Structure 1
Amino acid sequence: MAQPQGAAQPRIVAIGGAVTEILFALGLGDRVVAVDQTSRYPAAARRLPDVGYARALSPEGVLSVGPTLILAMEGAGPPSTMEVLKQASVPVVVIPDGHDREAVLRKIAAVAKAVGAEEKGRALSAEVSDDFAALDAMVKALPERPRAVFVLSASGGAAVVGGSDTSADAILKLAGLTNAMAQIKGFKPALDEAAMSAEPEAVVVMSGGGQVLDAATVFALPAFAGTPAARDERLVALPGSYLLGFGPRTPRAARDLAAALHPGAKLPELRARSWSAEPDQ
């Protein structure tokens, strides 16, 4: 969607944290006029108008900022909203989702194509590919695969954990960890007996965005009170969009998770990139 010479720059609504990160990494953040609630990085994105949660959008909210292009991560909705947006006079491009190296590169290529920045997209993809290769080399050299469980939330004494076929499962694998709750599919409440028998050695949670899961809260839950993770008080918290966003910084998130749970490995930092220099929150 290259812009004719002299044409006005597009006014982009970015829906999905990875979409927003990619646009800023491409150097096109000045074209983004609004984002959704999952767009937490970089800080400039958090200062933009918020059109709501990615899966609970209203057509009026999205269109009220006067976009000329809407880039939405696959799964944005509800479907009725997406139908209204697609029938409006504003182009809507749906970016394919996914939770592995290939999926991240597909997202970059799709966003770059949508905004006519294919060359910049190829350059970004090359940097991210190098980061994944460096991560892969680190993980292959690790001597063990600790058993970890990702806890999404906890209320009423029950923990919702990330099983197989989830972004949580994918990031654990990228970090050289074994998902202790892989027998569950999706994000679901963990039965106390199943969680204890899985014997996780560590618990991973999200920080920021109103998350309040700390070690005292998690290890007081019956599901984890008697586990090796509770005994050693091994809990790692990383920003949610960083950990589960599967945007350009995914190799860095996996590296940081691996370093936290393999403290003796002394993993090197990934190469500095201009688009990942800003601290997360």
Structure 2
Amino acid sequence: MKQLFCALWLGLMTTLAHAADLPKRVVSLGGPLTEVIYALNAGDRLVGVDASSLYPAAATKLPQVGYYRAFSVEGVAALNPDLILATDQAGPPAALKQLQSLGKRVIVLPGDATLDALEQRVHGVAQALGLKDDGGKMVAQIRQQIAPLQGKAGGLKTLLVMNRTGKLEGAGTDTTADAMLQLAGAKNVLAAQKGYKPLSAEAALLLAPQAIVTTTMSITASGGLEAFLALPGVAGTPAAKAHRVVVMDDLLLLGFGPRLPESLRTLLAGLQAPAS
């Protein structure tokens, strides 16, 4: 009996010690990571997020530390986190090193827009937080749900543009935007281009996209949908004439996180809608 009691006591002490080591004050640098944290039911650990963390609504009520690509070291440190989760797109790198020099635990996860990288993000977050749920079920469901959706756009010539500064920028390869078009089976008319680059009206007309995909923030920056359709780089394209313009929430379209199946369904619904 005494041996059994000792074994139970040691087990309890080990559990309590493990619980004490679990991070309880977490800062997330990146909207997609924040979504993963909430999807794993660990949102109560968050004490701060970056400006791209717009989903779920609870995340928008937390203190912000700037945009993840140029976050405030002082802002993060002031929240006294015991864990900082970031992707390899967060930075600048010197800022992450500065946090480490302050004794902060920083874990950097892959930010690529691929299913394998998404799986690594989910498992990485779960492991860093010491969760019993390692995210395996979530990842399996994501893969299962997107499998029948892939390639359904049938090679539709598509242009994905952003309007952040009043000037259109088109998305080429090596972007999450391009990865989404590839998943959907749409043909990116800017596949010969790498990254985001300014798009002239002349170039857009020559590309002759059958569909245009953009974000809600881009529509707002343009002054509304009708104003967007009247932009020199949009008006005159087959997509604009047919009103085949897909407008999606920025993070839903470009997050490549737990809501990926919803994002792909929404994108396909817009691309497959009858032209008007």
TM range (shorter): 0.7 to 0.9
Give the match for residue 73 of structure 2: 59
Residue 4 of structure 1 is matched in structure 2 by: 17
Map 1:65-80; keep pairs closer than 5 Å. 65-80=79-94
Partner of 2:207: 198
Gap change, CA 1:103 and 1:262, over 3 Å in 2: same
Aligned to 1:221: 231
Contact 1:3/1:116 (<8 A) preserved: no
CA–CA separation in structure 1 for the residues paired with 2:227 and 2:186? 23
Give the secondary-structure state (helix, strand or coil) at the position aligned to 1:148: strand
Alignment partner of 2:269: what SS?
helix
Instruction: Quote the Cα distance in structure 2 between the aligned partners of 1:155 and 1:87.
Output: 35
Corresponding residue pairs, total: 258
Percent of residue pairs bearing the same amino acid type: 40
| Deviation of the 1:5 alpha carbon | 4.1
Name the CA distance, whole Å, in 1 between partners of 2:218 and 2:25: 26
Pairing partner for 1:179 from 181, 188, 192 = 188
Name the one with the larger helix percent: 2
- One-letter amino acid of the structure 2 residue matched with residue 216 of structure 1: E
Aligned to 2:11: none
Hey, what does 2:248 align to over in structure 1? 238
CA drift at 1:234 = 1.9
Of 45, 51, 63, which aligns to 1:31?
Answer: 45
- CA-to-aligned-CA distance 1:37-56 (integer Å, 9 cap, x gap): 11111111111111111111
- Partner of 2:63 in structure 1? 49
Offset, 1:223: 2.4
CA distance in 1, matches of 2:249, 2:16: 35
1:164 pairs with 2:177: no
> Partners in 1 of 2:164 and 2:34 — Cα distance?
29
Q: 1:95 to 1:118 in 2, by over 3 A?
A: farther
- Residue type matched to 1:224 in 2? V
8 Å CA contact retained: 1:176, 1:258 = no
- The farther-off stretch of 112-121 and 202-211 is 202-211
d(CA) in 1 for partners of 2:180, 2:24: 33
1:97 lines up with 2:111 in the alignment:
yes
What's the TM-score once normalised by structure 1's chain length?
Answer: 0.85
How has the CA–CA distance of structure 1 residues 152 and 208 changed in structure 2, closer, same or farther, with 3 Å as cutoff?
closer
**3-state SS in 2 of match to 1:212:** helix
Q: In the alignment, is the contact (CA less than 8 A) between 1:203 and 1:229 conserved in 2?
A: yes
Q: Shift in Å at residue 183 of structure 1?
A: 1.9
Residue 158 (structure 2) aligns with: 148
In 1: Cα distance, 2:218 partner to 2:272 partner: 26
| Counterpart check, 1:189 vs 2:202 | no
More deviation, 208-217/158-167: 208-217
Superposed CA offset, 1:113-172 (max 9, x none) = 211226332222222222222323xx35x5x3221111111656x411111111111111
Query: SS of the residue aligned with 1:14?
Result: strand
User: Over the residues paired in the alignment, what is the CA RMSD in angstroms?
Assistant: 2.1
Specify the SS of the correspondent of 2:33: helix
- 1:271 aligns with none
**What is the match of residue 260 of structure 2?**
250
Which structure has the bigger radius of gyration? 2
30-39 or 245-254: which moved more?
245-254
Q: 1:109 is matched with which residue: 123, 127, 130?
A: 123
Q: Which residue identity lines up with residue 29 of structure 1 in the other structure?
A: G
TM-score by length of 2: 0.86
Q: Is 1:260 the counterpart of 2:270 in the alignment?
A: yes
Amino acid at match of 2:175: T
